[in-house]
Chains A and B, each alone.
Chain A
Amino acid sequence: MGKAKVKRASTSIDMTAMCDVSFLLLTFFVLTATARQPEVLVVDTPQSTTPDKLPDDNLGVISVASGKIFFGVKNPTVREITLKNMSQKYSVNFSAEDYEKFKQLDEFGVPIKNLRQLLSLPNEQRKEGIQPGIPVDSTETASNELYSWVQEARKATIEYNRSRDGEKDFVDPGPMKVAIKADADEKYPTVNLIIETLRNQKQNKFSFVTGLRAEQ
């Protein structure tokens, strides 16, 4: 027999299985990640140490920056019902196409009489500059449109949750939550107007949207 060959230990590891696993995970994360649309109103929120996360559904968000107030409901179906109610209340008519477009609209900041005009624009033209903000004041009348929007959204949530009552595995999430997403440098009077608007309809609990502060 010849010389015994010294076997060289191979330095390379079989990466196939690791590659499989990592791509599986990658696919999972790509699919679960919700595509975030760029916000119309850019809000730089203040930071806090609160550990609670903002819910994804069953939520209405009032955004405030540089004196402008925007409103948006998370659930598209609730959005649609809200617009129906608002259309009755303010006697503004919307076409079926408008309703479809409104379902896609994350947040808006125009008086209701200008809403059709906003919906007729393509998505990329709905810039912050052309949206003057939702009218708000300290009354409870029709002139305080934010009051009506929040109230109708709350009613719409109840209606929607009731309609889903018979469904399998459906747990009623309760009344809609309201969050105020105000810019860190927003002056208090605007925030106060919103708080008072909410309090006037006995929505005494709400959340401030904040970023996470690492250290205390």
Chain B
Amino acid sequence: MAELNQDSGKGGKGGKVRAKKAGGKVDLTAMVDLAFLLITFFMLTTSLNKPQAMDVAMPDKNKMDANDNLEIADNRSITLLLGSDNKISWYYGQLAKPIYPPATIDYSKEGIRQVLLKMQKEVPARSGGKDLIVVIRPSEKSVQRNLVDILDEMKIVDIKRYMISKINGDEIEVLKREGLFND
């Protein structure tokens, strides 16, 4: 036992004084501790720093005819109007004669996700087996977080057909009426 940091516990009965051997073992525990701490730090900073990429695909733009809108069966589509204050107004069918009129909900698990799950089951029953189409219409008062949240929700609920499209005047009126068009 010739470790440098240890007191030799043999000094009990005034025995021989041993000459200390030079160049014995050094206790490396602290050094290993430090090295592992640094390893952990570098591992975490390199891999966790990489941001996520959420892929978005938009339809090809028809530059010839700006009013070239795709016709969708009323009973297949629900429309989400992204308003201010982190709230959504949603309706089912056409705005002029909705199957479900506009209602306000939020982005939480209990809010939009329940609606999407419910409609995902209800729509095929109503439209003869065809799946749900979600139309996302961000208003100018909504923020990027809202858009990312709703796209994330599409992934979580596993909705195959959805699109981001432009909001129109009537729908802005709906948001104003529901008080979701504030700065």
* Interface membership of B170, Cβ < 8 A: no
Known: A29-B46, A48-B151, A208-B148. A15 touches B32 (CB 8 A): yes
Question: Which of A14, A36, A46, A55 interacts with B145 by CB under 8 Å?
Answer: A46
Nearest chain A residue, comparing its CB with the CB of B44? A29
Interface residue ranges of A165-216 to B (CB < 8 Å): 179, 181-189, 191-192, 195, 198-200, 202, 204-213, 216
* Interface membership of A10, Cβ < 8 A: yes
Q: Taking the nearest CB of chain A, how far is it from the CB of B7, in angstroms?
A: 14
Q: Taking the nearest CB of chain B, how far is it from the CB of A179, in angstroms?
A: 6
A199 to B56, CA, bound (A): 12
A46 to B146, CA, bound (A): 9
Say yes or no: A30 contacts B144, CB within 8 Å.
no
A127 to B176, CA, bound (A): 39
Say yes or no: A207 contacts B58, CB within 8 Å.
no
How many A-B residue contacts, CB cutoff 8 Å? 154
**Contacts of B58 on A, CB cut-off 8 Å?**
195, 198-199, 204-205
Say yes or no: B42 contacts A30, CB within 8 Å.
yes
**Contacts of A179 on B, CB cut-off 8 Å?**
53
**Contacts of A205 on B, CB cut-off 8 Å?**
55-58
Say yes or no: A216 contacts B156, CB within 8 Å.
yes
**Contacts of A182 on B, CB cut-off 8 Å?**
144
Interface residue ranges of B126-182 to A (CB < 8 Å): 138-149, 151-152, 155-156, 164
Nearest chain A residue, comparing its CB with the CB of B143? A185
Say yes or no: A188 contacts B31, CB within 8 Å.
no
Say yes or no: B147 contacts A191, CB within 8 Å.
yes
**Contacts of A162 on B, CB cut-off 8 Å?**
none
Question: Which of A33, A48, A189, A204 interacts with B52 by CB under 8 Å?
Answer: A48
Nearest chain B residue, comparing its CB with the CB of A18? B32
Interface of B is mostly: mixed
**Contacts of A211 on B, CB cut-off 8 Å?**
51-52
Say yes or no: B55 contacts A185, CB within 8 Å.
no
Question: Which of B31, B61, B139, B146 interacts with A15 by CB under 8 Å?
Answer: B31
Which one of B14-22, B33-41, B67-75, B93-101 contacts A? B33-41
**Contacts of A50 on B, CB cut-off 8 Å?**
52-55, 152, 155
Can you give 16 contacting A-B residue pairs, CB < 8 Å?
Answer: A12-B3, A18-B28, A19-B31, A22-B39, A26-B38, A45-B51, A52-B52, A54-B53, A181-B51, A182-B144, A183-B144, A184-B143, A184-B144, A187-B142, A206-B56, A208-B54
> What are the 8 tightest A-B residue pairs by CB atom distance, in nearest-first order?
A15-B28, A29-B42, A22-B35, A207-B53, A184-B145, A46-B145, A54-B53, A182-B144
